[in-house]
A = this chain, B = another copy of it.
């Protein structure tokens, strides 16, 4: 298939939609981003990349980082992790306290905020400190992306913390249910740190190859997790990867994926490739508007879908 041609066609069709969504505005640093930007990258198992648009432009990966921290947590805790964080869709906005309270402080899945905060807490317990935890997370991302120059945007991390009272509320609630081991502020700051990492679509599509290929990197042959763990992360991405629009994404796109409020989305075609798309304008559920459409066009044009 001529992937470059497909990307070009997608860009043409997507152009009129750019600017339709709403850039994340809960922190000042993110709200000033130009919504008329677009990038898309495909990485095949031999490492070949196809790119379109601003594919070298860095952006805040935000919730996409939850895929990486969940990978680390699953690797070290395996299924023992299940009592702390479930893997059911939440059926509620991503930062809702209601469900967390009714379900006694056990988050529904690792991709809603409470779940990802809990995963970060588990990693801090495993790595013994928030500093070493952040270090291990970013080293892991650099490894799977095969790229050393990946960093956190400290201004974003600080600004998140300043406006992070809802996440502090979620973490405190889990702690009141004895489902958080470490200090609330430490855990939340570490969580914001990994959310504030910056990448571009080239790096992100490259970084997801291990999930498209049963847990090991087809280019470097490094094994990160077991095939069964990779399969499970993909299942959680499919059922819970897009907040309250996860069903919509499965229905229209049909690929396991994960979005972030920075406007990025990653997705995989099992046994074939990994993709990433970026456009900062968001839809009502907090997912990239043009990005979601671009992936839907991709599966329509290629017939690639897990269903």
Tell yes or no: A168 within 8 A of B by CB.
yes
In contact, A88 and B307 (Cβ under 8 angstroms): no
Residues of B within 8 A of A108 (CB): 91, 247
In contact, A231 and B254 (Cβ under 8 angstroms): yes
In contact, A89 and B247 (Cβ under 8 angstroms): yes
Residues of B within 8 A of A252 (CB): 232
Tell yes or no: A33 within 8 A of B by CB.
no
CA distance A240 to B239 in the complex (A): 9
- Closest B residue to A228 by CB, please name it: B300
In contact, A172 and B176 (Cβ under 8 angstroms): no
Mark interface residues in A208-246 (1 if CB within 8 Å of B CB, else 0).
000000000000000000001011101110111000111
Tell yes or no: A127 within 8 A of B by CB.
no
Q: Number of residues in A with C-beta < 8 Å to the partner?
A: 50
* Cβ 8 A contact of A306, one of B99, B173, B247, B307: B307
| Protomer copies | 4
Q: State whether A307 and B231 are in contact (beta carbons under 8 Å apart), knowing that A88-B247, A97-B98 are contacts in the complex.
A: yes
Some 30 contacts from A to B, beta carbons below 8 A apart, are A87-B251, A88-B245, A89-B89, A91-B91, A97-B101, A97-B169, A98-B101, A109-B247, A165-B173, A165-B176, A166-B176, A168-B172, A168-B184, A169-B170, A169-B173, A228-B300, A231-B254, A232-B252, A232-B307, A235-B250, A235-B251, A235-B307, A236-B250, A236-B251, A238-B238, A238-B239, A239-B239, A239-B250, A270-B307, A306-B307
Residues of B within 8 A of A173 (CB): 97, 165-166, 169
Tell yes or no: A92 within 8 A of B by CB.
yes
CA distance A298 to B236 in the complex (A): 20
Q: State whether A102 and B98 are in contact (beta carbons under 8 Å apart), knowing that A235-B254, A236-B251, A247-B236 are contacts in the complex.
A: yes
Tell yes or no: A22 within 8 A of B by CB.
no
Shortest CB-to-CB span from A206 to chain B, Å, is 20
> Which 6 pairs between the two chains have the least Cβ-Cβ distance?
A91-B91, A89-B89, A169-B172, A88-B247, A165-B176, A234-B307
Shortest CB-to-CB span from A286 to chain B, Å, is 14
Tell yes or no: A53 within 8 A of B by CB.
no
Shortest CB-to-CB span from A211 to chain B, Å, is 9
In contact, B251 and A247 (Cβ under 8 angstroms): no
Shortest CB-to-CB span from A85 to chain B, Å, is 11
Q: State whether A91 and B99 are in contact (beta carbons under 8 Å apart), knowing that A239-B250, A307-B231 are contacts in the complex.
A: yes
Residues of B within 8 A of A262 (CB): none
